[in-house]
Amino acid sequence: MGKNKAPIKERTPLTLAFSPCPNDTIIFHALLHGLVDTGDYTFSPFIDDVETLNRFAFNEKFQITKLSFFAYFKLKNLYDLLDAGAALGYGCGPLLVGKTTDLPSEDAKIAVPGEYTTAHLLLRLWNSGFKNIEVTRFETILPGIQSGKYDAGVIIHEGRFIYSSYGCIKIIDLGEWWEAETGLPIPLGCIAMRKDLFPHGCKEKVERMIRKSVEFGLADRAVSRDFVKAHSQELDDNVIDEHINLYVNNFSLSLGDEGVRAIAALEDIARLKGIL
């Protein structure tokens, strides 16, 4: 008689939502494609614009999700911050751009890439007087300025590398403004996990998996390039590499003390100014 086989342990499925931008797709490529050990878990991905993910998070649609820090501050009762996978850094903040370098008037029509994006939060922290802010998807902002639909707009992601091709000029780098005000990196986006998962003890495990996936992606970018380009708004390899160089860094591996201080400062200042 043959020996009894050990029962196959079922793996726990987790939903994972992130944006189509190169910094997110390179971070999660290895995790989703069997290139790092995911242990007892499987991941079901959902990819969409970060503001869409911000809005879904208010209904707890996904167990693990990319969030703008502005959204995370509003959702701390539902989500906990993961130490890996975040987008923070120096020289990587949103830009306010327009057809001229003139400061827009209070009544100027200014596009922002989502109500709950950190870009929108920074604009309000820098200048709370704008009365005509329109929320739109990030990829529509530069064409909107070019066509005259918007007087100015706050651009994120690949936009900072291509805005001049739309006839736009930088008015202010909101990241540089933040750094001058605080001496800290600008916290842009994070990966957060629903608090109801914590009893399963998976938070630290997922953080380790994401960290390994980041390390794998940065060690050999060619492996993930097809996946990254399949989702990116910009297909030029140089733009993609510049994007990854800027937004995937040591803070993506671990927030560290400096990252934690930056996040706390952004939240504290937003609360002090009555935005949160």
Half-sphere exposure of 59 (CA within 13 A, CB side): 5
The residues assigned a catalytic role are 157
